[in-house]
Amino acid sequence: MSRPVSLLVAIVALVVEGLGAMAWGGLTIVLVRVFGGGVPPLAVVAIGGSVAFGLAALAVAVAAWRRRGWSWAGGVALQVVILLGIVVAIPYAGFPPPFVGAAALAVLGLVALLTPGTRRSLSG
């Protein structure tokens, strides 16, 4: 049985978000090392969270590709978490294009996961 296009869109969204989150965490670490100074405790939590989110998103994308039943719920939960995080961060950051792009990608991934074809494909 072939995979519906909506499932492929959701997988691509999860992979891009996962890689982006891990890249953000890695870039933050590099910038702190290059420019020196101490790392505030909240930054450590944010960096660790971004790497953990990235790994979780990639794990859910692989599970969705393999059609594991839990991947649908995991994908929806991750999309909701990233949307809430972006909604909280955008007012403080001043609407930078990467945040707006990430929000659009999260909405696209969530809509793709909520289509009947994707849900049917992953539920059994």
Over the chain (124 residues), the average pLDDT of each successive run of 10 is: 80 83 74 69 70 84 87 86 78 71 82 86 75
CB-based contacts of 99-105 (< 8 A; 24+ apart in sequence) = 102/17, 102/20, 105/13, 105/16, 105/17
Q: What is the pTM of this model?
A: 0.74
